[in-house]
Chain A
Amino acid sequence: MAASQLLLEVLALGAAYALVALGFVLILNATGAVNFSQGDMVMAGGFGAVVLANALHVPGLVLLPLLLVGMAALGVVVAVAAYLPLRRRPPDAVFISTIAVGIILQNAANHLFGAEPMAAPPLLSAGRVRFAGIEVSIQSLAIIGVAALLIVGLQVLFVHTQFGRRLRATAQDREVAMAIGIPVDRMVVVTFAIGAALAGAAGLLLANAFFVTPTAGADYMVKAYIAVVIGGWGSIPGAVAGALLIAAFEVLYPSLPLLIPALLRMPQSDAVFSQTTSTIMLDVAVLIILVARPGGLFGEAVRQRP
């Protein structure tokens, strides 16, 4: 496999993970509490894509806007049911309530769709194309494109609009934001909606190549958490960097002997560059980052880490 081909796979996987991590960070910043249902929101997005595809029989790219709206509505419901009633309680109360939301989503999916894996439609089409001299899957290219658009769109929303400035003000200091007349609760609800929509997009992107099951959310939740710890608790660019680093460990590390053939002749090469070892290496890297830069690669935007 060519290095450029592997890098493209890293980018595609990392881009999808980045959407999960971004939704997680936005809600973290707005509420100061961890939303433990973010992984299950990804799962819900995956099943949402399956349902829409079965009903409309169109490519994933056409489904995406509908899915974003539907998932945003789910985010509003979660905010109203699991956050607003507890907003004056310690953050622990919110993360317990979001764990409950995750369990409800998981069991609802199991009841509605069964436990068997399902596949969402590809964004454009299945198959592979030759691109810049290498053969890559169309889905991987489409994932990178869609994720990049969503991330840039989010950046524009946050930096260049009045609405975004209000969201950021709410995230930075709720008390001051309230004092200057920003409707903080409404801003938090909108943040939940955006976070859920991003999770839904990630669900659509991931459920084609990697399928979706009712229990898939836990794994995405762990990845989002690790990405945010690596990048810096509450840092948006950090979340993206963390997600890419996770994808690099998952795809690049086990492939090193392919890029450097001398490693194939190393004793115990199979074991040293196995997928299991890559997970261990990722965990070691997280520990090193936490020791060397306790605030993560990009520094912490939120001080309290549950």
Chain B
Amino acid sequence: MSHGASSWPRAALVVSSGLVAALLAGLPAIAAPATPDIPVLVPVTGFLAAEGASQRNGALLALQNPPAGVQPRFAVTDTGTSPEGAVNALERALSDGDVTAVVASMLGTQMLAMLPIALEHKVPLTTMSGTADITRKGNPYVFRFFPADSVVKGAQVRYAIEADHIKAPAVIYQTTAYGQSGHAEILKALDAAGIKPVFEDALDVSVKDMQPVLAKAKAAGADSLLLQLHGGPTALFLKAAASMNVGLPIIAGSGLAQPSTVALLDPAEIKGACAETGASPVSAETPAMQGFLDRYRAAFHTDPDGFALGQYDATMMVLDAVAHGATDAAGVTKALSTESYQGLAMTYKSDGHGDMAHSAVIICYDGKSHIPAIVKHYDFPIAAP
């Protein structure tokens, strides 16, 4: 009896414990937040410091405002502008632990040096680099969130033809890799339209006086000026064109879409000038873009450019993948390779080579303010891999 009397409460205890366990198992688990490791390796000193700082700021804004359930770990490392600086930064970041994805330099030469390391460690790199080669190496770990030159230069030429009916353009470009790559794409787009430039000139970044090249373009009979110049030289060119009262339509590269370039010029000096770019966050075309603009200004006390927005979208796509269960580098790589993502600037989807951005906009200045209006959107079909 005593045995029977004492076994009853024990049986009750066993049964109730089982019930509690069953109940607990049935309850939704309180998940620990995902903590992806996303180092930011960008050039914030040297000749690309302005663009690199934009890239860093865009990444930071995303990392500091992640989706629910994601708490990214991140640190910013300055890569400088040498390939060795980028390689050292990447190797150091990878040696610290399990890296989920990397915000990688927008400098093409640095990206080319980092690609083999990313391949070896199977870690995805997101970048804003425009260098064509980085997505032509067959490396499945590189993802470019800024439209390739074929996209933005295609938009630049199409707009010049549609809006300004150009027939005899002058093409002025920089001698750098950026300038030459864009120049080749401009010529390709012009050739496709049966147009031959009447004047071409390549400018070193140290060229100060733009009057001779402008005068020669005009003397050659140019009916328009297509530019592929960095930000500073773009400002020098526009300043000279305004002072010479050139009177030709100017359709510039993305240098003229950077707020820092425009800040160097009086609104009257850029009246009527247009430019291609991936995105123009300062134009605040949508409420979501206005929200981004407000948050960016509050955080960094400056205006964002297309690089900042592109890197923000890239980082948010990585964080979104983590929020949807991609907990490691392999999972994020798979998501970036196969999923599409609606960012603030555009919809991103890999073309199979890592090129994610396939849209461009044309912005124009009205001569009254430094804020451009978006006058045209161009969406290009995603090329087959």
A interface, CB within 8 angstroms of B? 1, 6, 9, 13, 107, 110, 114-119, 128, 137, 206, 209-211, 213-215, 219, 250-251, 254-255, 257-258, 261, 264, 270, 273-276, 279
Per the bound structure, the CA–CA distance linking A12 and B340 in Å amounts to: 55
Residues of B within 8 A of A114 (CB): 49-50, 53, 302
B380 in contact (CB, < 8 A)? no
Cross-chain contact B208 with A276 (CB below 8 angstroms): no
Cross-chain contact B47 with A275 (CB below 8 angstroms): no
Cross-chain contact B209 with A13 (CB below 8 angstroms): yes
B92 in contact (CB, < 8 A)? no
Cross-chain contact B50 with A276 (CB below 8 angstroms): no
Cross-chain contact A264 with B220 (CB below 8 angstroms): yes
**Contacts between chains A and B (CB distance < 8 A), count:** 94
Cross-chain contact B232 with A276 (CB below 8 angstroms): no
Per the bound structure, the CA–CA distance linking A257 and B201 in Å amounts to: 14
Cross-chain contact B260 with A211 (CB below 8 angstroms): no
Cross-chain contact B49 with A276 (CB below 8 angstroms): no
Residues of A within 8 A of B53 (CB): 114-115
Contacts known (A258-B219, A275-B201, A276-B175); A128 close to B46, Cβ less than 8 A: no
Per the bound structure, the CA–CA distance linking A251 and B208 in Å amounts to: 9
- For chain B, the bracket of interface size reads 35 or more
Within 8 A of A (CB), among B250-309: 260-261, 263-264, 302
* 11 contacting pairs across A/B (C-beta < 8 A): A9-B211, A13-B209, A117-B231, A210-B208, A211-B232, A211-B235, A254-B213, A254-B216, A255-B216, A258-B212, A275-B204
Cross-chain contact B209 with A9 (CB below 8 angstroms): yes
Out of A211, A214, A276, name the residue touching B264 (CB < 8 Å). A211
Per the bound structure, the CA–CA distance linking A264 and B206 in Å amounts to: 25
Cross-chain contact A210 with B236 (CB below 8 angstroms): yes
Residues of B within 8 A of A213 (CB): 50, 232
Per the bound structure, the CA–CA distance linking A117 and B208 in Å amounts to: 14
Residues of A within 8 A of B373 (CB): none
> Min CB distance, B295 to chain A, in Å?
19
Contacts beyond the supplied A114-B53, A137-B243, A254-B216: 9 A-B pairs with Cβ under 8 Å: A9-B211, A13-B209, A114-B49, A115-B45, A115-B49, A115-B52, A117-B231, A211-B264, A270-B200
Cross-chain contact B208 with A250 (CB below 8 angstroms): yes
> Min CB distance, B297 to chain A, in Å?
15
B27 in contact (CB, < 8 A)? no
Per the bound structure, the CA–CA distance linking A6 and B211 in Å amounts to: 9
Cross-chain contact A270 with B236 (CB below 8 angstroms): no
B378 in contact (CB, < 8 A)? no
Q: Which residue of B lies closest to A251 (CB)?
A: B209
What 9 A-B pairs come out closest when comparing CB atoms? A115-B49, A116-B260, A115-B50, A255-B212, A254-B212, A116-B50, A219-B206, A210-B208, A117-B232
Residues of B within 8 A of A118 (CB): 264
Per the bound structure, the CA–CA distance linking A279 and B207 in Å amounts to: 9
Interface string of B201-240 (1 = CB under 8 A from A): 1111011110111011001100000000001100110010
> Min CB distance, A49 to chain B, in Å?
14
Per the bound structure, the CA–CA distance linking A128 and B264 in Å amounts to: 18
Out of A13, A115, A257, A275, name the residue touching B202 (CB < 8 Å). A275
Per the bound structure, the CA–CA distance linking A215 and B52 in Å amounts to: 14
> Min CB distance, A137 to chain B, in Å?
6
Residues of B within 8 A of A270 (CB): 199-201, 216, 220
Residues of B within 8 A of A273 (CB): 216
Per the bound structure, the CA–CA distance linking A13 and B210 in Å amounts to: 12
Cross-chain contact A215 with B47 (CB below 8 angstroms): yes
Residues of A within 8 A of B49 (CB): 110, 114-115, 214-215
Cross-chain contact B243 with A128 (CB below 8 angstroms): yes
Cross-chain contact B203 with A276 (CB below 8 angstroms): yes
Cross-chain contact B243 with A258 (CB below 8 angstroms): no
> Min CB distance, A222 to chain B, in Å?
8
> Min CB distance, A38 to chain B, in Å?
16
Cross-chain contact A255 with B215 (CB below 8 angstroms): yes
Cross-chain contact A250 with B220 (CB below 8 angstroms): no
Per the bound structure, the CA–CA distance linking A77 and B290 in Å amounts to: 47
Residues of A within 8 A of B216 (CB): 254-255, 257-258, 270, 273
